[in-house]
Chain A
Amino acid sequence: MAAITRRRLLDSVLGAGFVSTLAAIVYPVWRYLIPPVSGEPSAQSVVAGQAGQVKPNSGSIFKFGSKPGLLVRTADGELKAFSAVCTHLDCTVQFKSDTSQIWCACHNGMYDLQGNVVSGPPPRPLERLVVNQRGDEIVVSRS
């Protein structure tokens, strides 16, 4: 009697073990198959903002991979995007709405709205990025 009960116990332990190890495999695979929220490796293009929220003569910083990007809407309404990494010493630039120029606070580098250097120490223009609109989304990608 005891032997049969022990055998049944062993069988149920074995069964439970199989099922739980199977679950421990199936559950991660199931979660893996569900596409992640971020969609795809975003090295090349990024949603930088909503078209309705970017006012004329304003700029904002967005994340482009692991580096900052600058999205600018000129006074005429045109959208432009640049890498916000200053070409001098890698500080993050910003948009100055009073002079409609791009400014680096570290050493007073100034860029115009083409990304070209106007004054200060930066040796090269800002890297320009390509801007497209998809519905209300502003999509910025590398040129």
Chain B
Amino acid sequence: MPILDWIDQRLDLADLRRFTAEKSVPVHAQKIWYYLGGVTLFLFAVQVASGILLLLYYRPSASEAYESVQFIVTQVEFGWLVRNVHSWSANLLILAAFAHLFSVYFLKSYRKPRELTWVSGALLLFLMLGFGFSGYLLPWNELAFFATKVGTGIAGAVPVIGPGLMRFLRGGEDVTGATLSRFYALHVAILPAATTALVVLHLLFVQRQGMSVPIKEADRLRAGGRARHMPFFPDYVLRDVLVWYVALAMLAGLAAFYPWELGRKADPFAAVPAGIRPEWYFLAAFHTLKILPSHVLGMEGEQLGVLAFGLAAILLVAVPFLDRRASRDEPSRAFTALGLAALVYLIAFTIIGYLAS
């Protein structure tokens, strides 16, 4: 192609050409799970693009935020579409991130030498949740305001650092315009910077180490079995794009059937509406805290719950270092069982939490 020749003459694309010709992806029964990472990245790119578009018109102050979103949705051409895409893609992104995490977990792709890939990935999940929590407040409507109030209130339940953490998150004692400013900074600058760094690392690791194969497949290869591969270009890329288009179809369908509502502008002095609950990805944790008794083992129930979540997060990040058997390419059924239990708990409590409100 003439354009590529033009660039080749100036930048020497020989390495790149070799790379595209040689890069391949392992083929085995579980290869379908490989696409989840790509679709997560795709949805993140959609978020960045739609987020930048929203940035052109959004105003991050308590007196103008709601009106600016209303302006985007009513006055700006296709503003409703950009906003809908951003809101729905956020949910799909977090769903894809969780799916990616669980598939990698059950396939034990975190085992040596890919521990750091897992660590960067787990941290990325936390960042995605941070994006979700901070972004949710930005339209400054009733639901968002009270969800933030409840959510940051829970942060205040962390022992020792809780009250300080809550004041840090809220930018004060209560959720106010100061909170909005802070969450805006988090959402458009701090979290994107951290995410970019971690994504680059994560992709670098994947690129450097290639795709992991399930333990059974690794055993089969060690026993002399023939390795089966698929060229990255064009085979894998076509399939990746297919999955991305499926995600796009889901986005279009959701935007058409369940358009995001504007809600009512937040009134800090109004009473908390009944049945307030966070977005679905926090629902399991929220419902767990709700059903914990008020005092357990000499601690406040909420404090215990928050500590438990903190512990769970640390354990999640440390999984590759805890699962010794997997690192030896041995089956680690205990970890599989634990993972299944966690999955069941999350799904069940999300559903129960949704029904309870």
Contact = CB atoms under 8 A, between A and B. Distances in A.
A61 B330 CA distance: 80
Given A41-B67, A43-B64, A28 B75 contact: no
A134 interface: no
Given A41-B68, A43-B64, A32 B77 contact: yes
Given A41-B67, A41-B68, A32 B82 contact: yes
Nearest to B79: A32
A33 B56 contact: yes
Given A28-B82, A29-B53, A41 B76 contact: no
B66 to A, nearest CB: 9
A32 B76 contact: yes
Contact of A34 (B64, B77, B248): B77
A33 B77 CA distance: 8
Given A29-B53, A32-B53, A41 B59 contact: yes
A29 B81 CA distance: 9
B75 A38 contact: yes
B81 A28 contact: yes
A41 B74 CA distance: 10
B70 A31 contact: no
B64 A36 contact: no
B309 interface: no
Contacts of B79: 32
If over half of B's interface residues share one DSSP class (helix, strand or loop), that class is named, otherwise mixed; here it is helix
B245 to A, nearest CB: 8
B53 A41 contact: no
A32 B79 CA distance: 6
Given A29-B53, A33-B56, A43 B67 contact: yes
A40 interface: yes
Contacts of B68: 41
Interface string A24-51: 0000110111101010110100000000
B168 interface: no
B182 to A, nearest CB: 22
B345 interface: no
B71 interface: yes
A73 B213 CA distance: 81
Contacts of B64: 41, 43
Interface residues of B, number: 18
A43 B78 CA distance: 21
Nearest to A28: B78
Contacts of B67: 41, 43
Given A28-B82, A29-B53, A32-B53, A41 B70 contact: yes
A36 B77 contact: yes
Given A29-B53, A32-B82, A41 B71 contact: yes
A38 B56 CA distance: 15
B264 to A, nearest CB: 13
Interface string A5-38: 0000000000000000100000011011110101
A41 B245 CA distance: 35
A52 B248 CA distance: 54
A16 to B, nearest CB: 14
The residue in B56, B71, B79 that gathers the most chain A C-beta atoms within 10 A of its C-beta is B71
Contacts of A34: 77
B267 to A, nearest CB: 15
Contacts of B77: 28, 31-32, 34, 36
Contacts of B70: 41
Contact of B71 (A29, A33, A40): A40
Contacts of A38: 71, 75
A15 to B, nearest CB: 13
Interface in B80-102: 81-82
Contacts of B71: 36, 38, 40-41
15 contacts: A28-B77, A28-B78, A28-B81, A29-B53, A32-B53, A32-B78, A33-B53, A34-B77, A36-B76, A36-B77, A41-B64, A41-B68, A43-B63, A43-B64, A43-B67
Interface of B: 53, 56, 59, 63-64, 67-68, 70-71, 75-79, 81-82, 245, 248
Which 7 A-B pairs give the minimum distances between C-beta atoms?
A28-B78, A41-B67, A31-B77, A41-B71, A36-B75, A43-B67, A32-B78
